[in-house]
Amino acid sequence: MAEVRLESISKSFGGLTVLPDLDLTVPEGSFTVLVGPSGCGKSTLLRIISGLEMPTAGTVRIGGQDVTFDEPSKRGISMVFQSYALYPHMTVAQNIDFGLRLAKVPAAERQTRVAEAARILALTDYLDRKPSQLSGGQRQRVAIGRSIVRQPKVFLFDEPLSNLDAALRTQMRVELAQLHQSLDATMIYVTHDQVEAMTLADQIVVMNAGRIEQVGAPMDLYDRPQTAFVAGFIGSPK
Ligand code: ADP
Ligand code: MG
């Protein structure tokens, strides 16, 4: 696990400034949740941390190291998206193994890691199935499995549960919390679901129009919102 630190990060697309000037520290081993309205820059921030997007200015540090100009594969991070694109023609095992094979990890080690990820995610009995033979929740677990096997220091999740129905979301929420405990990793998790944020987070970051409104523990934000925006966004979960 590793701390993630963003220093004076700005990002513009052409004439559009999405992140004017952002500082954020994500403590090592924390479950940090980013919330904020659609279009406020949450995904852009994750993409900058992962290296899929370059900041216009500023520094990205992972574990203290300046990784601003490092390739995604060199950062020790892993990203799970909302639309988990599994390879339909591959089995669950092959899907989980895919990144390791690309990275030329030796076969014996790959086998151990895939088995361990499958155990953590309760997929052991499904390793020979194709994605089409799985439920939505199982598919999402395979997507997470592909991240786990790479043993990242930091996991980035971009609304990973938003395509699932309510019952499954609740179940996956519990599983993600357990995953965080068992993996000892830093997790940065984007959601627009207030309940998800309140139940999963050690630290919630409330964003609005590319700026951070407030950072704090869930009950902290709930009891002591510093702005009307935060109060409105976090307030009275049902
Ligand atoms: P969120 O994830 O919070 O919904 P995004 O980070 O996806 O927000 O987007 C923030 C803003 O940046 C939006 O106005 C979006 O249209 C814009 N944006 C994101 N990516 C690009 C891009 N590649 N080119 C141009 N504009 C973009
Ligand atoms: Mg987004």
ipTM of the complex: 0.98
The pTM for the full model equals: 0.91
pLDDT of amino acid 3: 96
CB 18 less than 6 A from any atom of ligand 1:
yes
The amino acid sitting at 230 is: V
Q: What are phi and psi of 176, to 5 degrees?
A: -65, -40
CB 42 less than 6 A from any atom of ligand 1:
yes
Collect the ranges in the chain with pLDDT lower than 70: 82-84, 236-238
What's the CA-to-centroid distance between 32 and ligand 1, angstroms?
21
What's the CA-to-centroid distance between 192 and ligand 2, angstroms?
9
Indicate which residue's Cα is closest to atom 12 of ligand 1: 18
Indicate which residue's Cα is closest to atom 11 of ligand 1: 39
Nearest atom (ligand 1) to Cα of 14: 25
Closest-approaching ligand to the CA atom of 14: 1
